[in-house]
Each structure stands twice: as C-alpha cells, then as structure tokens.
C-alpha cells in the first residue's frame, strides 16, 4: 500500500523582497498551511494503522513459528515411536526363519505358530496397515512396511443331494494357509483373488456338490475344498486326498481345515457324519446317513473361520450353508438340496 503524500509548501516570503513579491508569497504560503496540516494528519494516521498491522503480523509470525516448532517436535516423536515399534517387531520375529510356521502346536515362548505371530504383532502395537479381502482386489504395500504376515482361508465345497432316503456327503471346509514375509520380497501391489464357495447340489438331482474356487495372494494359491459326494463321502479340505491326514471325516481337530461329514468308512477309518472341526480353516459340512436315519447331523465348528452347515434329512429342506469364511455346505437327502460352501478370505498385516 502506498503511503499518503504530503506536498511541499509554497515558498515563504523573504525579508528584503519588494512589497508586492513579499505579499504574494505570504498569501500563497498562508493559504497552503491548512491543507498541508490535513495531509500531515492523514500521514500520521496511516503510520499509526500500519504500525498496528506490523505488530499483529509479527505476533502471527511468532505464533506460526511456535506451531511449526511444535509440529516438528511431534513429527520427531512420531518418527522415534515408529522406529521403536519397528525395532520391537524385528526383535519379536528375530528367531523365526522367513516363511517358517508351525501350526501343529500351541504358541509358547520358544515355539512359533500363526497364533503367536498374530499376538506378537498385536502386542507390539506397530501394525502400519491391515487389509481384509472378502472380494477379489489389489493389495498395496505400505511404504513403511518391513514385514508382512498373510493368512488365506480357502473356499469351501458344497454338499451333495439325494432325492431319496440315502447317504450324501458334506462339503469340505476351507483350507488355511499362512506365511511371514519380508516386505521387500513383495511387489508394491499384489493381486488378490477370492474363491467362491462351491454350490450345493440342487434339489431334484441325485448329484454331488461343487468344489470351491481357488483363493490367492500374489503367486500363492490355496485350492478350493472338495465337494460332498453321493454315497456319503465327505469332501476333503483342499482339493485332493493329500489333505486327509489333517482331518478325516470330523475326527480330531483339523487345524488347517476340516473334511466334510462322511457316512462311509473311508481309508480304513469309521464313518463320522458330523462335519469335522477346525482351528484356523473352515468347519466341514455334515453328511446324511442311510435309509431310516433321520438325525440332522451338525456341521463342524471352527475357532477362527466359518462353521460347516448342518445336514438335512427332512423332505424338501435344504442342507445348511457353510458360514463365512470357508464353512463347508451340509448334505441333504429327501430332496432338499445340498448347502452351499462359503467363500474364501485373505487377511494381511504389515508392520
């Protein structure tokens, strides 16, 4: 802003000048004094206002400097906290070889499992990003991540259907898989594909259920679980009979995923029509038994994934759908239709 201008006064009269010159100068000078005084007052007001604005600007600048200093201190504290969290996380997993997990045992101070890793991450309060995928998408690596832990629950199989009073097998529960990784070993983005649960056999058909689709994170794929079969054979957790030792037809606790209920003697083991239970993977769907047996067997239970669907022996009543994620579909006889298997799931922690 330009400051107010104060013009010069006309020349004052000087002694020795002739009368006419002296008088003319005196008149002009006197006439200019009042406007000149007004201009001086205007300049004084402007200076006073400007001085107040300068003072306010100085105080605002001081406040901004203080706020900037406080922000810098807070940023430094946050950076130190993040560094401390990263160090704690690194110490927490220092004894664990990359990718090595042992889910056949419970967590102790000297034994690592996926349970222990989850608890160590939570205890360190250093997770920088958590993602849960219930539908296919793209995972994005956090720029500050140093470690990544991912869990996959596969899609479950659907239950079989009998139009008459006969045996039908339950769908296998979704298979569980987990791994601890260095963030630097992963791309900035990874494709995530969520497998769809297998459909149960429709009413009106003497048919097997459908297997679940594959669920994947990057280049790691977990096959969908097997379907329930006519004749009472339950679906395996995972796509092949290689998963049988983890849990046969509901016997024992299948840590990774449970076989569907089976009303036959399979692989030399007595039948178990209830769905198999699981810790990490999905529970197996229940099977129906032979002629005259009207018990609606229960689907298998899961601690951290979905329960299996119950079997149905009632006429035109569908077998129970498996619960999300990874619960196997229950079987049906007397033409209710087999229950559907539940979809898969991917969960990823970064720290």
Close Cβ partners of 296 (under 8 Å, ≥ 6 residues apart): 286, 310, 311, 312, 313, 314
pLDDT at 187: 95
Per the CB < 8 A criterion, the answer to whether 172 and 225 are in contact is yes
Query: How many angstroms separate the CA atoms of 283 and 153, rounded?
Result: 11
pLDDT at 234: 63
pLDDT under 50: residue ranges of the chain: 95, 97-100, 105-111, 239-257, 265-270
pLDDT at 340: 97
Give the angle subtended at the CA of 92 by the CAs of 86 and 97, to the nearest 5°: 110
pLDDT at 113: 61
Residue-range domain boundaries for the chain: 17-92, 104-351
pTM value is 0.63
* Helix residue ranges, H only, the chain: 19-92, 114-124
Task: Return the beta strands (E) in 189-327 as ranges.
Answer: 189-193, 215-217, 220-222, 253-254, 277-278
Q: How many residues does the chain have?
A: 351
Closest CA to 297 of 281, 282, 311: 311
Q: Which residue has the tokens 């007001």?
A: 45
Query: How many angstroms separate the CA atoms of 97 and 112, rounded?
Result: 10
């Amino acid at each position: 802003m330009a400051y107010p201008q104060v013009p010069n006064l006309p020349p004052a009269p000087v002694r020795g000048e002739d009368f006419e010159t002296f008088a003319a100068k005196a008149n002009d000078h006197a006439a200019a004094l009042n406007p000149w005084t007004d201009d001086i007052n205007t300049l004084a007001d402007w200076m006073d206002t400007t001085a107040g604005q300068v003072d306010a600007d100085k105080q605002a600048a001081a406040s901004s400097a203080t706020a900037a200093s406080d922000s810098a201190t807070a940023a430094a504290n946050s950076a130190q906290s993040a560094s401390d969290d990263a160090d704690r996380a690194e110490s927490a997993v220092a004894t664990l070889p990359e990718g090595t997990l042992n889910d056949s045992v419970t967590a102790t101070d000297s034994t690592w499992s996926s349970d222990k890793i989850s608890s160590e991450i939570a205890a360190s309060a250093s997770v920088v990003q958590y993602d849960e995928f219930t539908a296919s998408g793209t995972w994005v690596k956090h720029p500050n991540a140093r470690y990544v832990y991912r869990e996959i629950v596969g899609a479950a199989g659907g239950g079989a259907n009998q139009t008459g009073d006969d045996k039908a097998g339950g769908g296998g529960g979704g298979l569980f898989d987990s791994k601890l990784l260095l963030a630097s070993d992963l791309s900035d983005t990874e494709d995530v594909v969520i497998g769809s649960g297998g459909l149960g056999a429709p009413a009106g058909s003497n048919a097997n259920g459908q297997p679940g689709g594959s669920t994947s994170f990057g280049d790691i794929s977990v096959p969908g679980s097997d379907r329930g079969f006519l004749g009472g054979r339950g679906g395996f957790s995972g796509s092949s009979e290689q998963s049988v030792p983890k849990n046969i037809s509901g016997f024992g606790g299948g840590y990774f995923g449970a076989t569907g209920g089976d009303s036959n003697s399979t692989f030399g083991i007595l039948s178990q029509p209830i769905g198999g239970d699981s810790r990490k993977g999905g529970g197996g769907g229940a099977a129906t038994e032979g002629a005259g047996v009207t018990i609606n067997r229960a689907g298998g239970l899961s601690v951290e994934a979905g329960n299996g669907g119950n079997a149905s022996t009632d006429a035109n009543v569908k077998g129970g759908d498996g619960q999300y994620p990874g619960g196997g579909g229950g079987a049906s006889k007397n033409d209710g239709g087999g229950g559907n298997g539940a979809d898969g799931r991917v969960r990823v922690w970064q720290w």
